[in-house]
Amino acid sequence: MLNPPDEECIVMPGGGGVVNNITDTVATVFRDEGCSVPQDTLYPGNSGAYGGADVPHSVYFGQL
């Protein structure tokens, strides 16, 4: 994603196996598509690798 909007739930079709936060804001990834089951918080410059049932399906940029 290039320049994702802040304070908006964004669905990741098919989920995200590897998530890199190259923005200047905090990203929270979620297990569901509705940003209601938080899974991990990625600070700017951080990344995460996920597999199987742990693949996140949505992301929210900004403070929750």
Q: How are beta strands 9-11 and 18-20 bridged, if at all?
A: unpaired
**Any domain includes 27:** yes
**Any domain includes 4:** no
Q: Give yes or no for a contact between 11 and 57, defined as CB atoms under 8 angstroms apart.
A: yes
Question: Is 80 exceeded by the pLDDT of residue 1?
Answer: no
Q: Give yes or no for a contact between 11 and 33, defined as CB atoms under 8 angstroms apart.
A: yes
- The pTM of the whole model exceeds 0.85: yes
Q: Which residues form the domain of 56?
A: 9-61
Residues in a beta bridge with 41: 28
DSSP state of 54: G
What total of structural domains would you count in the chain?
1
Q: 28-64, pLDDT tens digit by residue?
A: 999 999 999 999 999 999 999 999 889 999 999 999 8
Grouping H, G, I as helix, E, B as strand and the rest as coil, residue 53 is: helix
